Amino acid sequence: MPQELANVAPVQVSAIGEARFTAEARLEGTTMAVRMEGTADAKAKPHFQSFFERVHRSSIESRVGDAVVDVQRLAFMSSSCFKDVLVWIMNVNAEPAEARYRIRFVPDPKRGWQKRGFRALVLMAPELVSIDEIGGTRP
């Protein structure tokens, strides 16, 4: 499949005032590179779910080995958006073993909520999910 067909269209959601959420994904070789920034709150929620559905579908069609999710510039993520990420992980886990891909989160070490939240996702599916940290990868 040509790379340009495997891209997931960027999602941008404007909220009140300066707050906003942006998510985009693109295929880089055998990796789906996902980047999120801003505030993933109730206004982002409807777009968040469909975004991860498209990321998953494109990842399966492109037979990626990894999805790397850069959340370093994500200021906040609501529990309902975390649930959508968990659903994405469970959808990957429901695929046949040969179609599954690993999900690696790249958090900002200065944001404690990211460490706690993404670590909980690792505990839900340690065979699929890991956290990349500056200087290396941590399960």
* pLDDT attached to residue 8: 61
Span 97-109, mean pLDDT?
Answer: 96
* pLDDT attached to residue 17: 32
* pLDDT attached to residue 132: 92
Q: What is the CATH number of the domain that holds 54?
A: 3.30.750.24
| DSSP letter assigned to residue 6 | H
* pLDDT attached to residue 83: 94
Span 118-132, mean pLDDT?
Answer: 95
136 compared with 99, residue with greater pLDDT:
99
From the list 89, 13, 10, the residue with the least C-alpha distance to 45 is 13
Query: Quick check: pTM over 0.85?
Result: no
What whole-number distance in Å separates Cα of residue 92 and Cα of residue 79? 20
Domain count, the chain: 1
User: Is-contact 84 49, C-beta < 8 A?
Assistant: yes
- Expressed as residue numbers, the domain containing 26 is 3-138
Q: Per mean pLDDT, which range of 47-56, 82-91, 130-139 is the poorest? A: 130-139
